[in-house]
Chain A
Amino acid sequence: MANVRIQEGDFDPGAEAEALASGRTDVGAVVSFIGYCRDEGGRLAALELEHYPGMAEEEIARAASEAEARWQLIGATIIHRYGRIAPGERIVLVAVAAEHRGPAFAAAEMLMDYLKTRAPFWKRATRIDGAVEGWVEAKREDDRSAARWRVAD
């Protein structure tokens, strides 16, 4: 079972990744991805992340179950923050453990594509001058990236 957490506070990515392999001898690979709040051109004061409590956890858990079954993962930890996040701060962690690196890389990438396009989170940007820039628009390239993982029913 994947460990899925939706939280306001920060997380320790090193400790989370290490915990997936700690005390085990069957893990050959841990792949972790950390997403950060990125400033573009020094104008961003913060991102405000809104989410759908309940559905966010359930949707991510569904994707994690799919990934676990598809790549025979040994473990997975997914953490997504909400609330106000300043440039340079961590937003999201995906860490997966498997016997081999191939499945671990693939699962981590699929889960990130999934988080971008199907997990119910919405970002709004606030600029340094105090103006609210509005809601971040979804990107077509994220949809295309996520479509790579679709399997025929």
Chain B
Amino acid sequence: MSAATEMGMKALYFAWVRERVGRAEEELDLPPTVATVGDLIAWLSERGEGYARAFNKPAAVRVALDRVHSRSDASIAGAKEVAFFPPMTGG
């Protein structure tokens, strides 16, 4: 890994996470201190009231990195797309 100063990543939000954040997607410029999914959630929570409400119970939000379910301790290094959403209710 090169020591990039900022990392670009596309964020997607679905269902009530989208409604609370107030947008469906955005580009994120992440500081290098954000290394894991958990770090990313903590970082997003600081961005405003909507984000804080969306992530106030981090365990209630599911995360996918590049369209694969991921846990909060997963590294985000190299991921191009991250998605946040509630537990799924399909079928």
Checking B64, B83, B86, B91 against A115 with a beta-carbon cut-off of 8 angstroms, the contacting residue is B91
Does B61 count as interface, using CB distance less than 8 angstroms?
no
Contact (Cβ within 8 A) A52 B90: no
Does B89 count as interface, using CB distance less than 8 angstroms?
yes
What is the predominant secondary structure among interface residues of chain A facing chain B?
A: mixed
Q: How far is the CA of A115 from the CA of B90 in the complex (A)?
A: 6
Does B67 count as interface, using CB distance less than 8 angstroms?
yes
Q: How far is the CA of A118 from the CA of B85 in the complex (A)?
A: 12
Among B8-16, B29-37, B71-79, the stretch in contact with A? B8-16
Does B69 count as interface, using CB distance less than 8 angstroms?
yes
Q: How far is the CA of A91 from the CA of B69 in the complex (A)?
A: 23
Checking A58, A117, A122, A123 against B67 with a beta-carbon cut-off of 8 angstroms, the contacting residue is A58
* Proximity bits, A108-144, B CB within 8 Å = 1, else 0: 0000100111111111100000000011111000100
**A-B pairs with lowest CB-CB distance, top 4:** A121-B90, A138-B87, A122-B15, A55-B67
**A residues with CB within 8 A of B:** 35, 49-52, 54-55, 58-59, 80, 91-92, 112, 115-124, 134-138, 142
Give 27 A-B contacts (CB < 8 Å), ordered by A residue.
A52-B14, A52-B67, A52-B83, A54-B67, A55-B64, A55-B68, A59-B67, A92-B90, A115-B91, A116-B88, A116-B91, A117-B87, A118-B69, A118-B88, A119-B91, A120-B83, A120-B85, A121-B90, A121-B91, A122-B88, A122-B89, A124-B15, A135-B15, A135-B16, A135-B86, A136-B89, A142-B91
**B residues with CB within 8 A of A:** 12, 14-16, 64, 67-69, 83, 85-91
